[in-house]
Amino acid sequence: MTVLVLGGTAEARALAAQLHDHGVTVVSSLAGRVARPRLPVGEVRVGGFGGVDGLTAWLREHDVRAVVDATHPFAERIGTNAFHATQAACVPLLRLARPGWQPHSGDRWHWAADLDEAAAMLPNLGTRVFLTSGRQGLAAFATLDALWFLIRCVDPPGPPLPRHHEVLLARGPYEVAAERALLTGHDIDVLVTKDSGGAMTAAKLTAARELDLPVVVVRRPPRPRADETAEVAEAVKWVLSQ
């Protein structure tokens, strides 16, 4: 059987490895937005499919038995396309979604519907911002000339960017002590993040809590309703049952 894993996440790589061990032919699809992605085992496909119609045709052409959408929680377009393409091609779909973060006692979280709302909140929360929402969508913050930004992302971001900023290129996982030192060393007084979930980038939230800093958390975009699990082992069982 051939299984398409829409990936780019740690969960997608773990799933591809376990399915490979079970003798399943896995094709992992990466969006191609990261210059040096961590590659999973098995066949890797980089780039888009050409929308719903292109993905539908690809599923039929390659006789795909099942699709697992293990993309980043904010990869809204491919998630929606996968839902409609699998419906059209009559291929079962499973969403492998890591749980979102939950606030703890002492957290000062402010939820935002999107990056624009997050940007609108900032002037009332601080002046030195640690921005960890990725390099996509930074234009939402470009007009906040009174604020200073430390922008952390994997690859260099393109314009438009905030007038006063520093770019830090880094890739997780991160540790609490290092995150705390980063926040204090740059005099950060507010953190902005997407609700990505998972342990690899959660240390900044702990550090912000320890330093009593406000955190703007961008909510996940909605996805079409589909079968879903948070566990790689459950996703393996689901695939093998198809």
Query: What DSSP string runs through 188-237?
Result: --EEEEE---SSTTTHHHHHHHHTT-EEEEEPPPP----EEES-HHHHHH
pLDDT of residue 32: 65
At 75, which amino acid appears? A
User: What backbone torsions phi and psi does residue 173 show, to the nearest 5 degrees?
Assistant: -80, 155
pLDDT of residue 112: 98
pLDDT of residue 91: 97
214-218: strand order across its sheet: 108-112, 214-218, 190-194, 128-131, 148-153, 165-169
pLDDT of residue 37: 76
pLDDT digit string (tens) for the chain, length 242 residues: 899 999 888 999 999 999 999 999 999 999 766 667 788 888 999 988 999 999 999 999 999 999 999 999 998 899 999 999 999 999 999 999 999 999 999 999 999 999 999 999 999 999 999 999 999 899 999 999 999 999 999 999 999 999 999 999 999 899 999 999 999 999 999 999 999 999 999 999 999 999 999 999 999 998 898 999 999 999 999 999 99
Which domains does the chain show, CATH number per domain?
2-99+222-240 (3.40.50.720), 108-218 (3.40.50)
Contacts for 133 with CB less than 8 Å, ≥ 6 apart: 115, 118, 192, 193, 194, 218
CB atoms within 10 A of CB 35: 8
At 17, which amino acid appears? A
Q: Is the separation of the CB atoms in 200 and 183 below 8 Å?
A: no
At 230, which amino acid appears? A
CA–CA separation, 9 and 154 (whole Å): 14
Residue 177 to residues 44, 61, 199, Cα–Cα distance (Å): 35, 50, 15
CA–CA separation, 122 and 94 (whole Å): 37
pLDDT of residue 35: 63
pLDDT of residue 55: 96
pLDDT of residue 162: 97
